[in-house]
Amino acid sequence: MTTPRAILKSTFGFDDFRPGQGGVIDMIMAGQNVLAVMPTGAGKSLCYQVPALLFDRVTIVISPLVALMDNQVAGLRANGVEAACIHSGQSREANVAQWRNVASGRAKLLYLSPERLMTPRMISAMKGLSPAMFVIDEAHCVSKWGPAFRPEYAQLSELKTDFPDAVIAAFTATADEATRSDIAQTLFNNRGQIIVQGFDRPNLSLAINSKTDRKAQLADFMESVRGQSGIVYALSRKNTEEFAAHLVAAGHKALPYHAGLDAKLRFDTQERFMAEEGMVIVATIAFGMGIDKPDIRFVYHTNLPGSLEAYYQEIGRAGRDGAPAVTALCYGLDDVRMRRQFIMNDGAGDDHQVRELRRLDSLLSYCEASTCRRQVMLAYFGEDAAACGNCDNCLNPPDMIDATQPLQCILTTIEDTGARFGQAHVIAVARGADTQRIRQFSHDQTKGYGAAKAMGASYLQGLVRQALASGHIDMDIERFGALMITDKGRDVLRGHEVFKCKDIIISAAGKSTDRKRAKPKAQSNLSKQNQELLVELKAKRMEIARGLGKPAYIVFSDATLIDMVRKRPVSPEAMLDVSGVGAVKYERFGAVFLDVIKSAGQA
């Protein structure tokens, strides 16, 4: 009988499973339902693709995006696996042909969206097939607590009733404990295993920047990653277009992407990003979930995401190939007010709002952390970790200062003005500014007026941001972001507690500045000769991929090309020993790459 390991080698060209894959596959083969939480790049797809090839009945894969389905199917077909997908992006004739492949038993995997699957007609047709397994990809979409909840995914709860004999296997890289419990209850009534392999992505560098000038800060960051592929996230459609134009003017290959663009333009933009080297997409969160591009070298956020889970999911699109990648987030107090406004106005119940506000607070704590960021992030997901040495706090530890007196000035002003005003007005009063609004409310007559005159506005903004993250100050969204004093803050105001925070460095221009940012780039230990061969192999891969109309990694991944360079195979047998070269891929592409290697000569 064929084994999972035999399928892994003969079909996918790998000698060994990655950590965690074998255990999940064993559970599925034993007929157990499973929710697997595995970090991006850990190889979730193989965990269900390998069992699907061993089952005697079809496996149904539920996927959220057309692009993700198409790329997964293209990758399987490149390895000689007959797979099908049915979606609205194809003609009716094409969808009918795909269904016939499944009904005849030729295709072992069928990819569908939840909307397409959960219709009475499709469910009835599925019962005739009696699927062996349902796979729910991006399973955090199932949970009402997840960072990307989609109501259509909630209907998947019916599968356990309609198909009691099928294995249900769910996969995600993003789920805290509450989300995991909700997914397991929804999909299989907790009758199954929850496997948490881990959340650590040590190849990602982590950095947070306080907002001063978003465009200038973005331009500075982009110089450190010039020529590399990456994603810049912006909050609004308008900003995606403005920032993309700004980057193009600076000589970058950049395109905007948001839900308001024509569907064909979005598709073409995504295809260019997948196929071309050095492309930068400036996007809203509409872009990303279906992007299976291994060599994204950076993710930059121009605004605060909604939660630490959402941030983890978005930065997880970088460095899927395991090579170093850079992530950075730029945010200010206006982001905090806006995010809280979104939560309060989303129409959800009180329980959901409280949970989302707590999640936002956790993200703020991460942003204002003075210790290793990776430790803070992993602790949120329930993991312990040593200091990473690959975040801004590890590389440039911040100085901690006693800021009790400056914070008392702010707290006094909040109290004197009735806790009815936002940070801009509070800081203006504390600094003794002369504005029409201050005179209107007679705030120039308060005892705290001008108490912080010697302190710059940017310094005080940084102070308020840290006090908000530490829980000394709160924000009343119903009163347009008015600052309020918490019990912790009152202890500082009364002199019962000391307030320590990260030192806030002010530039000559009077703006808070970020500590010198580490600018890691993907390093290669290849010799100059091998690097030249790698360039030739990538050029050949791009030529083939363009001919196929598919992303380059569908042909061979970067990791496979690097293994070719190191092993320099000169025979079919040696090429089949390269990681990621299976029998079918060798038949389709192997000889061409062998010719490139032979022409380059021996090292």
The reply to whether CATH 3.30.365.10 applies to domain 4-196 is: no
Structure letter (DSSP) for residue 512: B
Judged against a pLDDT cut of 50, whether residue 431 lies above it is answered with yes
* Percent of the chain with pLDDT strictly greater than 90: 54
Residue 446 falls in which region: left (phi positive, over 0), alpha (psi -120 to 50) or beta: beta
Backbone angles phi, psi at 391, to 5 degrees: -130, 170
3-class secondary structure for 342-373?
A: HHHCCCCCHHHHHHHHHHHHHHHHHHCCCCCH
pLDDT digits (tens, 9 = 90+) for 60-101: 999 887 777 888 898 999 999 999 999 988 899 999 999 999
In sequence order, the 6+-apart residues with CB closer than 8 A to the CB of 305 are 233, 285, 311, 314, 329, 363
**Choice among 36-45, 215-224, 226-235, 525-534 with the minimum mean pLDDT:** 525-534
What six digits make up the tokens of 10?
A: 């003969």
In sequence order, the 6+-apart residues with CB closer than 8 A to the CB of 552 are 274, 275, 538, 541, 542, 545
**Alpha-carbon dihedral sign for residues 112, 268, 310, 347:** negative
Q: Which fold has domain 400-502?
A: Arc Repressor Mutant, subunit A (1.10.10)
Judged against a pLDDT cut of 70, whether residue 196 lies above it is answered with yes
CB atoms within 10 A of CB 235: 18
Minimal CA–CA distance to 582: which of 571, 590, 592? 590
Count each helix (H run) and each strand (E run) in the chain, helices first: 28, 18
CB atoms within 10 A of CB 249: 10
**Mean pLDDT across the stretch 30-48?**
91
Specify which residues 172 forms β-bridges with: 37
Whole-angstrom distance, CA of residue 163 vs CA of residue 170:
15
Q: Which CATH number fits domain 204-395: 3.40.50.300, 3.90.1150.10, 3.20.20.140, 3.40.50.720?
A: 3.40.50.300
Q: In which order are the strands placed within the sheet that holds 59-62?
A: 83-85, 109-112, 59-62, 133-136, 167-172, 34-37, 193-196
Asked if residue 554 lies in contact with residue 74, where contact means CB atoms within 8 angstroms, the answer is: yes
**Alpha-carbon dihedral sign for residues 93, 97, 103, 107:** negative
pLDDT confidence tier of residue 478, bands split at 50, 70 and 90 = low
User: Which residue has 């295993």 as its token pair?
Assistant: 193
* CATH 3.40.50.300 boundaries in the chain: 4-196, 204-395
User: H-helix or E-strand containing 462?
Assistant: helix 457-470
User: Bigger pLDDT: 587 or 65?
Assistant: 587
What six digits make up the tokens of 206?
A: 């982590």
**Mean pLDDT across the stretch 302-306?**
92
Judged against a pLDDT cut of 70, whether residue 509 lies above it is answered with no
CA atoms within 13 A on the CB side of 381: 27
Helix axes 404-416, 423-430, angle to 10 degrees: 110
Q: Which CATH number fits domain 528-600: 3.40.50.300, 1.10.150.80, 3.40.640.10, 1.20.1740.10?
A: 1.10.150.80
pLDDT at 508: 39
User: Which residue has 């699927």 as its token pair?
Assistant: 131
Whole-angstrom distance, CA of residue 512 vs CA of residue 380:
28
**Alpha-carbon dihedral sign for residues 66, 70, 76, 82:** positive
* CATH 1.10.10.10 boundaries in the chain: 400-502
Asked if residue 236 lies in contact with residue 264, where contact means CB atoms within 8 angstroms, the answer is: no
